[in-house]
Amino acid sequence: MTNLKHGLTSQRRASPSFALEDHMCKACGGRILRQLTGSGPTPGGNPVYICADCGRGSTAMGPDVLCWCGYRFKNQSLFGYNCLPTSLVKSLMEEGQVEQSEALEREFKSCGIDPRNTLIGIVTGDGYQRVLDKRKDIPGKEQTKKSPD
């Protein structure tokens, strides 16, 4: 990873534009951006991802090179972490899914995230899976059919 905040900006002729990603920087907790113009995607087609706060950046197929998605500590569950918009807590509550909303809020808080004070947070993958098991139609839920035995 390189610090793209200072290295490439002087070489650009036009101001780059970025799109916000629903991911949180693993290094500093900042918001991940995907560059749309300026240098844009690399010749190989990979977008440039940059942290809005610390400036770390990389080209990759997805923002998971900089964010928490899939990251696991030693001896942790198989799932790792997931970056999620904290607005899911409110959406579930508005839909009357009180139990799932409270469970997701607990998962955010167990990772040190207060969903009322931030837009993006992290949850453990196994904790998120427990919430998904209670509900079938929220982002990330895989629809699987059980095969007859």
Residues of the chain with pLDDT under 50: 1-2, 6-12, 141, 143-149
Q: Which two tokens stand for residue 40?
A: 């844009």
If you ran DSSP here, which 8-state letter would residue 25 be given?
B
Domain ranges in the chain are 2-65, 81-134
Per-residue model confidence (pLDDT) at position 72? 84
pLDDT in tens, 24-62: 999 999 999 998 866 556 776 778 899 999 999 988 888
Per-residue model confidence (pLDDT) at position 23? 95
**Helix, strand, coil distribution of the chain in percent, nearest 5:** 30, 25, 50
Per-residue model confidence (pLDDT) at position 126? 84
Asked whether the beta carbons of 118 and 89 are under 8 A apart, the reply is: no
Per-residue model confidence (pLDDT) at position 86? 93
Per-residue model confidence (pLDDT) at position 141? 47
Per-residue model confidence (pLDDT) at position 127? 86
- The position carrying tokens 């993006």 is 120
Distance CA 51, CA 27 (A): 9
Helix (H, G, I), strand (E, B) or coil at 102: helix
